[in-house]
Amino acid sequence: MNSIRAFAPATVANVACGFDIFGFAIEAPGDVVEIRRRDEPGVVIKEITGDEGRLPRNAEKNAVTVVMLHLLKHLGIKDFGAEVVLHKNMPLGSGMGSSAASAVAGVVAMNELLGNPLSRQELLPFAMEGEKIASGSAHADNVGPSLLGGFVVIRSYNPLDIFTIPVPDDLYCTLVHPDIEINTKDARFILRSEVSLKNTIAQMGNVAGLVAGLMKSDYELIGRSMVDVIIEPVRSILIPEFNVVKLAAIENGALGCSISGSGPSMFALSKGKANAESAGLAMQQKFADAGIESSMHVSAINKNGAAIL
Ligand SMILES: Nc1ncnc2c1ncn2[C@@H]1O[C@H](COP(=O)(O)OP(=O)(O)O)[C@@H](O)[C@H]1O
Ligand SMILES: N[C@@H](CCOP(=O)(O)O)C(=O)O
């Protein structure tokens, strides 16, 4: 096989109360990566579309190729020649797991080109290296769900312990991306490093409630548990109209609403597609009232994650 195309979906990380430990993928959008073997050694970026020339063309600096270089090194493969084309189908610094989608598509495509020496689970640490390059932190709550699909829980980072839990069939996500940019690195920098006991107790209750609500298909419990008392109060100040948009989502059918990843995108979860759509239109309207353009994606939870095309 000389050429491979892979797709990796956008993701919603944190899911309100689960900073760095919860995430799920949506159906679309997603990045597409093409790799072609070439005779000369070295992995090079041949072309990137959709980034307005903003992403690094240096293979050691772009999440899509960094993961390939780590994989090749791990497998002891030297002098491998490949050229890479990246189709960037989501904005940078979006809170939609943009860097993660590139990293996952890159590592899945390279693994396929090499004849699948590693399983999907085994690819995770390599995909996390892409996040390290992009945001300075090897968090797995975007790359995990983009790679594996489903609703992902990261129980531990050291050692890495990650699994998926079932979600109700009629659970829909609304993702609204206001036309502003927030870098994950900056949004991590502003977080406080200490948390009060009171907030820890509240957050633990919500984490347990969200997992139980998803597994029991208890929509009311899901909604009640979508509360983040630690991260959202700090980061929401970076998103204009955050409180107004969140209220609009809940008043128009959503079970709950919070920041997607590190923002500026906001997500809501709803029972049924119709509720997800009406919540999303209301969210967009509030951004529009403040003169902010936005785009909306409504999707069921993507159960499959990345795919070879
Ligand atoms: N292939 C890539 N796709 C997106 N961002 C990348 C990629 N490679 C490196 N980056 C860098 O990662 C940063 C964006 O990532 P991040 O802040 O995590 O955004 P997002 O929240 O959308 O994932 C930018 O500084 C960008 O230059
Ligand atoms: N847990 C991370 C998730 C970042 O998601 P992104 O989509 O903004 O890259 C964090 O909250 O920093």
CA of 228 to the centre of ligand 1 (A): 24
Residue-wise DSSP of 10-46 = EEEESTTT-TTTEEEEEEEEEEEEEEEE-SSSEEEEE
Overall pTM surpassing 0.95 (yes/no): yes
Residue 118 lies inside a defined structural domain of this protein: yes
Alpha helices in 57-139 (DSSP H): 63-74, 98-113, 120-135
Residue 295 lies inside a defined structural domain of this protein: yes
pLDDT digits (tens, 9 = 90+) for 259-281: 999 999 999 999 999 999 999 99
Residue 306 lies inside a defined structural domain of this protein: no
Atom of ligand 2 nearest to the CA of 235: 11
Q: What is the pLDDT of residue 58?
A: 97
User: Annotated binding residue at 262?
Assistant: no
Task: Kindly state whether residues 160 and 208 are assigned to the same domain.
Answer: no
Residue 305 lies inside a defined structural domain of this protein: no
- Model confidence at 127, pLDDT cuts 50, 70, 90, reads very high
d(CA 236, CA 251): 19
Pairing of strands 81-87, 42-49: parallel
Residue-wise DSSP of 242-291 = HHHHHHHHHHTTEEEEEESTTSS-EEEEEESHHHHHHHHHHHHHHHHHTT
Residue 27 is among the residues annotated as catalytic for this protein: no
Task: Kindly state whether residues 147 and 183 are assigned to the same domain.
Answer: no
Q: What is the pLDDT of residue 87?
A: 98
Q: What is the pLDDT of residue 224?
A: 98
127, 67 in Cβ contact below 8 A? yes
How many structural domains does the chain have? 2
CATH number of the structural domain spanning residue 119: 3.30.230.10
Residue 45 lies inside a defined structural domain of this protein: yes
Query: Which of 165, 181, 207 delimits the end of a domain?
Result: 165
- Ligand 1, atom 12: nearest CA belongs to which residue? 134
Residue 308 lies inside a defined structural domain of this protein: no
Query: Which of 128, 147, 165 delimits the end of a domain?
Result: 165
- Ligand 2, atom 9: nearest CA belongs to which residue? 97
The helix or strand, by DSSP H or E, that contains position 151, with its residue range, turns out to be strand 151-157
Task: Kindly state whether residues 158 and 12 are assigned to the same domain.
Answer: yes
Residue 307 lies inside a defined structural domain of this protein: no
The CA angle 172-176-179, to the nearest 5 degrees, is: 165
